[in-house]
Amino acid sequence: MSIEREIEKLYTLPEFVAELRRLADVLESKQQFNIQIEDENIFVPEHAVAAVVYEIEGGHAEIEFQLSWETGEVAADEDEDADEDDADEDEDAEDDAEAVTEAADEAEAADAAEVEAEVETASDEADNATAEAVDEAEAKTDDKVPA
């Protein structure tokens, strides 16, 4: 017997941000995350697979942050199909996670390159200012020293 249900909880933006921070902290510490939706306490195991889904349907766009895991409630005759679907979902989630990681790495590299360019520009400007100050000091010294 499989149990299927979908419940939803709406948050204000500050509440949602706080919940995401709590989720991130728990996942980062490799612990089980729990959340209460309506009257149900939901426990997300530390081995849950994470994915981000973007959907557009009927003029409505949506981004979902998903965590998925096996509940152990799949009927014996559905196990094979569920395992295949889960393997595909796990692979898709891993691909999505890899793409997100690559994008983050590229953004970090771009940021690092930008900072490096800014530092080099500032360094060049400092070198030019130093050279100008030395030239001015030498000119003043040359003016004061009798020939």
Q: In this model, does residue 145 exceed pLDDT 60? A: no
* Residue 100 lies in domain: 48-144
| The pLDDT of residue 106 | 76
Nearest to 51 by CA among 33, 39, 63, 37: 63
Assess if residue 63 is contained within a domain: yes
Assess if residue 119 is contained within a domain: yes
| The pLDDT of residue 122 | 67
Top pLDDT among 56 and 89 is at 56
Assess if residue 28 is contained within a domain: no
Assess if residue 102 is contained within a domain: yes
Question: What is the DSSP annotation of 66-101?
Answer: EEE---S---GGGHHHHHHHHHHHHHHHHHHHHHHH
pLDDT band (50, 70, 90) for residue 18? very high
Assess if residue 103 is contained within a domain: yes
| 93-100 mean pLDDT | 74
Which pTM does this prediction carry? 0.44
Assess if residue 24 is contained within a domain: no
Total structural domains within the chain: 1
| 8-36 mean pLDDT | 93
Question: What is the DSSP annotation of 109-137?
Answer: HHHHHHHHHHHHHHHHHHHHHHHHHHHHH
| The pLDDT of residue 34 | 93
Average pLDDT along the chain: 78
pLDDT above 90 coverage of the chain, percent = 35
